[in-house]
Amino acid sequence: MLAFASGALITAVAFELFEDAFEHGGAWRAGVAFFAGAAVFVVAAEAIDRRKQGRHAKGAAVGLTILAAVTLDGLPENLAMGVGLVESSSATLLVAIFASNLPEAIVGAEKMREYGQSRRRILATWSLTAVLLAAAVIVGYAVLDDVDGETLVWPLGFAAGAVLASLADTLMPEAYEEAREDKRIAFATALGFLLSFLISSA
């Protein structure tokens, strides 16, 4: 699931987020927003790692890092989807977000459970995340309808940077570690990319 999610998120970075940011704001604005998103994710991941020291807490740290990735890329992404709902159904982007975020959420919650987090706390944490992401769609639909493209470049570029950083830092390394370096992970990643690309281009 992690590998499939990684492939789907590569599609999101290349064709749903950074490309739109580039078209709205050009290379300079999109690039700055992109590196800002990556930097914020790295800082958040480092803070989580410092709090969760030791082998026993490693899984909990992975779960929290995945949670951070879902939130940092999901909020700007869902804002953008809300804006898209004004003009169209945005079914393609909705399916792509679901296909990438569901495996992340499942694995993140399982990691947190394996290393001592209570079911109630895990459910509350991920439920709150779901509410925040749903609220982002509503805000995007209601508030950002009249925002110009040069403003939208910032949340879109930020989301792209956060996604790419999460792929390099957490999702792909964890996928290979869980599979004991099973080479089929590469095929799962490719499948995630292909299916997500076909959805986005439909």
pLDDT of 121 > 70? The answer is yes
**Cβ(127)–Cβ(2) below 8 Å:** no
Angstrom distance (rounded) from CA 100 to CA 82: 18
pLDDT of 71 > 50? The answer is yes
CA-nearest of 42, 23, 22 to 33 is 22
Six token digits for residue 141: 């639909």
Please list, in sequence order, all residues whose beta carbon lies within 8 angstroms of the beta carbon of residue 82, skipping any fewer than 6 positions away.
Answer: 136, 137, 138, 139, 140, 141, 142, 144
The stretch 67-81 carries a mean pLDDT of 69
Between 127 and 72, residue with greater pLDDT = 127
| pLDDT tens digits for range 5-62 | 788 888 878 887 788 889 888 899 999 999 998 998 888 878 766 766 554 555 556 6
pLDDT at position 58: 58
pLDDT band for position 97 (50/70/90)? low
pLDDT at position 87: 45
| pLDDT tens digits for range 162-198 | 888 888 887 788 788 777 767 788 898 999 889 888 8
